[in-house]
């Protein structure tokens, strides 16, 4: 049966996430201790969470011994796992890029001033309308199933909460992410990442990859580099990405990651989908 593997991103980290996994040689002892013993607050810093989630996810994929999928796609950070599985990047090159990405993102603003929150119960257009007059706040992820993530300054998120609830949101939930991803606050980080990407050799994918920024496939290495840099400032089009893969005849999805967050979204977007998850927790 044709299928698509989906890889989650930052926010799926937890203490104990590395248990029983072969993480390879690229993970330092300090990060490995955080993954094993915490504390969670330190593990959840972007500079630690991103390489931790990538390393655990790629190890879970290798441990799964699943057959080669027809499609791969990842949510935000998970896009790097997808590219490693598709042969675009080696495991070590992907980890190196993840470390650079995390460093640039965490360095974009002082810690504690920006973040992200999930808006539950509203479509993207309603969220966009509700926050239109709030400065330094943007839609970051359109996840489908009436789940939209906003990104920006913490003070702006706080201002938006009553506006979103007045518009009909059931809940507005802060995410375990210490930066404002997928919005213009990451412009400098995106530029720095683009410079690092320019020096990397990307191969054409051996498996079809759907990218967050466009919800479409790409194969040209230069185009893929551009999409990875764009991803930091553009919203993740997850809803549209799932619908695109379904339009290509795929109805089976397997999520691989420390915890399952994408499988329920796929089911809400396409209720007829056959969805599985391989996780640590």
Q: Which of 18, 44, 75, 76 is catalytic?
A: 76
Decide if 190 contacts 229 (C-beta within 8 A). Answer: yes
Annotate 245-268 with three-state secondary structure: HHHCCCCEEEEECCCCCCHHHHHH
Strand 114-120 and strand 147-153: the pairing is antiparallel
Q: Which of 182, 190, 241, 260 is catalytic?
A: 182
Residue 76 is among the residues annotated as catalytic for this protein: yes
Q: What residues form DSSP beta bridges with 117?
A: 150, 174
Separation of alpha carbons 267 and 281, rounded Å: 20
Q: Cβ neighbours of residue 158 under 8 Å, at least 6 residues apart? A: none
Separation of alpha carbons 178 and 50, rounded Å: 11
Catalytic residues: 76, 182
């Amino acid at each position: 049966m044709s299928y698509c593997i989906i890889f989650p991103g930052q926010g799926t980290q937890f203490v104990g996430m590395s248990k029983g996994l072969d993480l390879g040689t690229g993970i330092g002892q300090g990060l490995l201790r955080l993954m094993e013993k915490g504390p969670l607050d330190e593990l959840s810093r972007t500079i630690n969470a991103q390489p931790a989630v990538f390393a655990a996810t790629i190890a879970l994929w290798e441990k799964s011994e699943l057959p080669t999928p027809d499609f791969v796609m990842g949510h935000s950070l998970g896009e790097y796992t997808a590219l490693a599985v598709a042969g675009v990047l080696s495991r070590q090159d992907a980890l190196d890029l993840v470390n650079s990405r995390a460093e640039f993102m965490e360095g974009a603003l002082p810690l504690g001033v920006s973040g992200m929150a999930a808006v539950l119960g509203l479509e993207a257009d309603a969220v966009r309308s509700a926050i239109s007059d709030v400065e330094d706040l943007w839609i970051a992820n359109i996840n489908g199933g009436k789940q939209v993530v906003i990104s920006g300054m913490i003070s702006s998120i706080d201002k938006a909460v009553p506006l979103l609830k007045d518009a009909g949101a059931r809940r507005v939930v802060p995410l375990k992410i210490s930066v404002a991803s997928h919005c213009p606050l990451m412009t400098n980080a995106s530029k720095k990442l683009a410079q690092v990407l320019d020096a990397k050799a990307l191969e054409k994918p051996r498996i079809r990859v759907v990218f967050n920024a466009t919800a479409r496939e790409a194969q040209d290495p230069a185009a893929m580099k551009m999409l990875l840099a764009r991803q930091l400032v553009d919203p993740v089009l997850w809803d549209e990405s799932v619908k695109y893969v379904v339009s290509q005849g795929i109805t089976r999805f397997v999520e691989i990651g420390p915890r399952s967050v994408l499988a329920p979204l796929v089911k809400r977007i396409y209720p007829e989908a056959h969805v599985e998850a391989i996780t640590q927790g």
